[in-house]
Structure 1
Amino acid sequence: MGTPRTVSDADDAGLDALRAARLASHLLTDPEASPLAAAERLAATQAQEFWGGRFALSARTTGAPTAREIDAVFDRGELIRTWPMRGTLHVISAVDAAWMVPITAERIHRSAAARHRELGLAADDFARSEQILRKVLGSGGLRRADVFAALEADGVATTGQRGSHILLSLALRGVVVWGATVPRPDQPATEQLLTLSDHLPPQRPTPTDPAAELFRRYLVGHAPASIADFAWWAGTTITAARAAAAAVRDDDEPITDTTLLVLADGRAVPWEPRTLTPPTDTGDRLLGSFEEYYISYADRSVAAEAGMRAEIGPGKNGMVKPLILRAGRAVATWSRGAADQLAPSLAETWRHHIA
């Protein structure tokens, strides 16, 4: 049999090599020097739960910075949280917002249109909300509750998920992001301040082909991965994903949507696992909710067997549970409320993070 290039083709040795390669891409065996560098390596880190996004960056940074140390990166304006894909909150570098968020914004808007009608939200509501927020956020960020209060005071109802959809829509239009944290004495933050995008640092120039650049950035932090994986992660159509991949391909060799690709000299090429070795890190590793190593692929069988995937999720409530990784495979889930029941080394990891 030839060299496996899709997950379904891989034998046990091929899967071990694939896990080793992904662990390296995800910085889980070779961390970056700073949380900002880790965030840029992943392009976008899912953070529907703020703590989970911070934990993901800590796991990928030398020295495993604490939550409060990562809060400081948000407070300096280097990292933000916004909705660049799938209508889901992600951590991204603050200088990437202007080019990254618009790539799938129109698609997310279209998918939310029916829900907007159910909530009685029309174009005038979004325009009015933008005017209000540009005014109240002009001198600095506000907490979510204060933002909703300002909208309500000016006649814009925020109940029944209306407020959340207003913020999502305005973020997709490039108006607002979640920025600096709301400090708590001697504890990590649990909230961020909503901030005008006008207050972000100077933005990176928009790439000539933003979707192709996003595909390239995805491979940097997630390869080996397929076009189908990218389509899932970016929340785009398979047709758009194929076009993005074609712009980054090295040649015209036929590939399928599930062919595993890597970057070589900036071009996407089929993955050749022969030179890779299985994971050498066989100890248990604590990872957070909505973990990128697990969630960012259409096919998650590499990271977890069927029973474990059912346990991790996404469940009916959309949650993706925190997990314990061993040699690139999820072996258990855990919860913050029962962190003291973890093995001593893993419990110490959690205590360090929230110190």
Structure 2
Amino acid sequence: MDASAALSLRLRNLMLADRQDRSVSGVVEWFGAMQAQDLNSVLWSLGVRTGLSLTEIVAATEERHVVRTWPMRGTVHLIPSADAHWMLALTGVRQLTGVASRWAQLGLDEKTANLAMDLLAAALTSAGGRLPRSGCLAALTEGGIDVSGQRGYHLLWYASQRSLTAIAPNAGAEQTFVLLDDWVPSRFTPSSREAALALLASRYFRSHGPARVLDFAGWTSLGVRDARLGIAGAGLVAVDVGGAEMWVTPEALETAGPAGGRWVLPGFDEFMLGYKDRSLMATAEQLAKVVPGNNGVFQSTLVADGRVAGLWKRTLGKKSVSVSVQKLVDFDLDEFRPALEGYAGYLGLPLIVKNP
């Protein structure tokens, strides 16, 4: 399989090509997990795949079918609520292996961390199951815990990592937290660890394939051995892409064919974040501009037929959204006008484009 065919498959699997009417919960379930450390980014990731407005997407996240938490890589993802417990137990728990050293840095210990969980559980229960972040920190402070510096954030993370709490949709501009068991409408538990690995592999490769073993391992924070166990249990097919072994679902190969288009994607979209090796989507020089200084902060991208063509930034006003573009290759900006208008429509604002 050549690079062009592989990119076409990825565009279909990433739900960018051949967009249909989709629900928020359906998109999240298809991916299994979507990078969501930056809330505005993941909301537009959903918008570009569903055609729904920002208001409609936020309303859908209140239906409790999806939730934000720290299931893998020590960063926030949007995942199906029903899968939160088993994902935290399978991949999230890996982030707890070094927690003692982090406690030492912050002046915390297991007793304080457990007290924080008790205080949060009591405060959330008294508040009807949901509190803004400031309310959670106030409950810890009232319970005698110093939340200065990174201590408060770490304790909120720890409670979520232990499956006590999770991040709910914002109240205005402020993050809110809920008791995870209260938020989950129905809980799913795989029959075994092997079954959980296979399910995670199936979801990753159906939404990101063709991709490498190391892409899957990096996405999940699993070791390579567990990644291969998951692939073996998922019934995937190996394909050769320019001499590299990649994996894809048999169903994706049945629908293989050219796919292209123009997209305006947020910086933390799975299009980039979902892979360790991003050479199919951008050159090394382009990647250095997408992630300046390799600092983990991804710029928003203009994508043409699966390849990065440029960067874009928005300035949000009360009456319009202004977008500035930086070209990384030569193209006619009018090619991206429908995609940019789609973003403005998602916000419900008129569009102003600043020519590069």
Q: Please say if residues 34 and 78 of structure 2, whose CA atoms lie closer than 8 Å, have aligned partners that are also in contact.
A: yes
1:58 to 18, 26, 47: 47
2:188 to 204, 208, 217: 204
Counterparts of 1:118-129 in structure 2, within 5 Å, are 118-129=105-116
In structure 2, what is the Cα distance between the partners aligned to 1:299 and 1:27?
A: 20
The alignment yields a C-alpha RMSD, in angstroms, of: 2.5
The answer for the alignment partner of 1:27 in structure 2 is 15
- From the superposition, tell whether residues 228 and 352 of structure 1 become closer, same or farther in structure 2 (CA, over 3 Å): same
The answer for the alignment partner of 1:7 in structure 2 is none
In structure 1, what is the Cα distance between the partners aligned to 2:292 and 2:264?
A: 18
What is the one-letter code of the residue matched to 1:29? A
1:277 lines up with 2:257 in the alignment: yes
Q: Please say if residues 233 and 297 of structure 1, whose CA atoms lie closer than 8 Å, have aligned partners that are also in contact.
A: yes
Higher relative contact order (CA 8 A, sep 6+): 1
The answer for the alignment partner of 1:310 in structure 2 is 288
The answer for the alignment partner of 1:195 in structure 2 is 178
The answer for the alignment partner of 1:75 in structure 2 is 62
1:224 lines up with 2:210 in the alignment: yes
The answer for the alignment partner of 1:320 in structure 2 is 298
In structure 2, what is the Cα distance between the partners aligned to 1:28 and 1:289?
A: 15
Counterparts of 1:8-19 in structure 2, within 5 Å, are 14-19=2-7
The answer for the alignment partner of 2:346 in structure 1 is 353
Gaps of 5+ in 1: 5-13, 184-189, 266-270
Residue-by-residue CA offset, 1:120-173 (whole Å, 9 max, x unaligned): 121112100110110111112111122112111211122221122112211111
Question: Aligned to 1:336, what secondary structure does the other structure show?
Answer: strand
Residue-by-residue CA offset, 1:64-123 (whole Å, 9 max, x unaligned): 111121111111112211111101111111111121121112311114442221011211
In structure 1, what is the Cα distance between the partners aligned to 2:124 and 2:132?
A: 10
What is the one-letter code of the residue matched to 1:277? G
Question: Aligned to 1:278, what secondary structure does the other structure show?
Answer: coil
Gaps of 5+ in 2: 317-321, 326-332, 349-356
The answer for the alignment partner of 1:142 in structure 2 is 131
2:38 to 45, 49, 55: 49
The answer for the alignment partner of 1:91 in structure 2 is 78
Question: Aligned to 1:194, what secondary structure does the other structure show?
Answer: strand
1:180 to 145, 161, 169: 169
Q: Please say if residues 9 and 210 of structure 2, whose CA atoms lie closer than 8 Å, have aligned partners that are also in contact.
A: yes
* 1:319 Cα offset (Å): 1.0
In structure 2, what is the Cα distance between the partners aligned to 1:252 and 1:38?
A: 25
Q: Please say if residues 83 and 101 of structure 1, whose CA atoms lie closer than 8 Å, have aligned partners that are also in contact.
A: yes
Counterparts of 1:101-112 in structure 2, within 5 Å, are 101-112=88-99
* 1:347 Cα offset (Å): 4.0
Q: Please say if residues 36 and 76 of structure 2, whose CA atoms lie closer than 8 Å, have aligned partners that are also in contact.
A: yes
- From the superposition, tell whether residues 169 and 346 of structure 1 become closer, same or farther in structure 2 (CA, over 3 Å): same
2:146 to 152, 157, 167: 157
Q: Please say if residues 45 and 265 of structure 2, whose CA atoms lie closer than 8 Å, have aligned partners that are also in contact.
A: yes
* 1:240 Cα offset (Å): 1.8
Question: Aligned to 1:136, what secondary structure does the other structure show?
Answer: helix
The answer for the alignment partner of 1:332 in structure 2 is 310
* 1:336 Cα offset (Å): 2.5
Question: Aligned to 1:340, what secondary structure does the other structure show?
Answer: strand
- Report the TM-score, using the length of structure 2 for normalisation: 0.84
Q: Please say if residues 178 and 195 of structure 1, whose CA atoms lie closer than 8 Å, have aligned partners that are also in contact.
A: yes
In structure 2, what is the Cα distance between the partners aligned to 1:316 and 1:251?
A: 32
- Report the TM-score, using the length of structure 1 for normalisation: 0.84
- From the superposition, tell whether residues 248 and 350 of structure 1 become closer, same or farther in structure 2 (CA, over 3 Å): closer
Counterparts of 1:241-256 in structure 2, within 5 Å, are 241-249=227-235
Query: Which of 18-27 and 101-110 deviates more?
Result: 101-110
1:259 to 245, 249, 264: 245
Name the structure with the higher strand share.
Answer: 2
Q: Please say if residues 6 and 210 of structure 2, whose CA atoms lie closer than 8 Å, have aligned partners that are also in contact.
A: yes
- From the superposition, tell whether residues 73 and 15 of structure 1 become closer, same or farther in structure 2 (CA, over 3 Å): same
Q: Please say if residues 16 and 277 of structure 1, whose CA atoms lie closer than 8 Å, have aligned partners that are also in contact.
A: no
The answer for the alignment partner of 1:8 in structure 2 is none
Residue-by-residue CA offset, 1:228-263 (whole Å, 9 max, x unaligned): 11000001111221222222346999xxx9521111
2:102 to 107, 115, 119: 115
Q: Please say if residues 272 and 278 of structure 2, whose CA atoms lie closer than 8 Å, have aligned partners that are also in contact.
A: yes
- From the superposition, tell whether residues 232 and 171 of structure 1 become closer, same or farther in structure 2 (CA, over 3 Å): same
What is the one-letter code of the residue matched to 2:136? V
Query: Which of 197-206 and 244-253 deviates more?
Result: 244-253
